[in-house]
Amino acid sequence: MAVESGKRRQSKVRKSMISKIVFRSIFTVIIALYLNISIPAQNPTGRVIPKSGKKKPAGKTSKPSDTPRQVLRSNSASPKLTISAPPGALIEIDGKSRGFAGVDGNLILTGISEGEHQLRVRAEGYEPWQGIFIMDASATKYQVPIKKKPLTGRIALTANEPGTEIFIDDKYSVKSLAGQTLYVDGLFPGPRQLRAVKQGFEEERMTVTVNPNETITVNLVLKPLLDPEMLRVPEGNFTQGNDKGALDQRPAHQVFVSEFEISTKEITNRLYKYFIDKTGHPAPRGVGYGWKDNNYPEGQADSPVVLVSWLDALAFCKWLSGQTGRRYRLPTEAEWEKAALMIGEQYASIGIVWEWCQDWYDPDYYKNRERINPRGPSRGKIVKAMAREGEARVIRGGGSGRSAVAARAAERNFFFPTVSRFDLGFRVVREITQ
């Protein structure tokens, strides 16, 4: 009975101890949850289970845990940057896009490190802006000093001649293209000086007024220089004809020719077009080549006009004289030959086409030995060529190249004055006023 009574007492003591341990454990858990502290692991005996792994050196702290809560807590504590700019502005920091300003004009950013940063802002209707701001440890707000673009207008430019260089206020220029309109944007409101130039044409100047948010249309019409480029031939004697040449070049003889000026090249398609546009004179026509309406073949503006008769050339000289107030005419045989001998190497072109002269053609004319400013016979001799017969005018030059023409300056030929030819044009003489 005594043993049994002792066992009961031991059982009661054991139960009491277990109850105390359980109570302490529950109480410890409750306190740990309330204070948000870690609970060391325990074995059934209540002893703390030692952590596995190496023992940490004294004096070193443990690495903080990377739990989402800690990261979020860290972000919530980082400083904020508020960029104030026009609504919709693109914000770049250190070369990287960070977004657009909202409708309230603000963009709020986090995670910007302390120190200097490059800021760039672009917004429609504003001038691009860039600069430096300093991020500090507390929240930072930066008002971008961006400025609105001034209101501007533009000019729509067209020119009748492709390749026309158009200067605006003599600061910058554009070149016109065939059949296209050029737009010049970003011009400040107010008067603008335009100047259009192209070689062989009169310079065109005008003033236009640019208005904000408007397009001014300008059509520039350049007029060709009516006075062709000329070379002066001094007065004096020269030997006309060639005793070793064809029969109509003989005999060679001395003549005196007064001072005159002769065009450096044949009359061009461009200048001849201006003549027919102004006068209504018929445009050149020919088989396999010719003008369409009043337009010369594409790309041949500076080529010699051909398919013009002697009468066409005469009409042009009369019109040019009236327009310029200077007397223009076709060269005489003597003038043409002297110019070819003395200044032919200065011509811009020679020997490309045959050229009309003023004189009637007579194969025996040189036998008359006219000495001073010979003008040719009073009438032409009846000749036959190309199934035609009648009086003819002198033509010179030919399509044999510059050096050959200089060597054969005395060569004579003829054609009928009312007929044109695909290889026949003309150059002009300008008389010198005393």
Rounded CA separation 103/101 (Å): 7
**Structural domains of the chain, with CATH:** 78-143 (2.60.40.10), 153-220 (2.60.40.1120), 230-430 (3.90.1580.10)
Give the model confidence (pLDDT) of 116-165 as tens digits. Answer: 999 999 999 899 999 998 888 777 889 999 998 888 999 999 998 889 99
Angle between helices 310-324 and 269-279 (to 10 degrees): 80
Arithmetic mean of pLDDT, 72-89: 73
pLDDT at 45 over 90: no
Long-range (24+ apart) CB contacts under 8 A made by 289-298 are 289/422, 296/269, 296/270, 296/272, 297/269
Rounded CA separation 52/40 (Å): 13
The highest-confidence range among 2-16, 166-180, 206-220, by mean pLDDT, is 206-220
Poorest-confidence range of 44-53, 109-118, 191-200, 419-428? 44-53
Confidence class of residue 65 from pLDDT cuts 50, 70 and 90? Answer: very low
Q: Find out whether the peptide bond into 251 is cis, omega within 30 degrees of 0.
A: yes
Give the model confidence (pLDDT) of 345-381 as tens digits. Answer: 888 776 688 999 999 999 999 998 789 999 999 999 9
Nearest residue to 150 (alpha-carbon basis) of 213, 209, 70, 76: 213
Q: What is the pTM of this model?
A: 0.64
- Write out the two tokens for 288: 């396999």
- Write out the two tokens for 224: 């060709």
| Model pLDDT, residue 38 | 46
Contact of 181 with 216, CB cutoff 8 Å: no
Those residues with Cβ within 8 angstroms of residue 213's Cβ, 6 or more apart along the chain or in another chain: 151, 152, 153
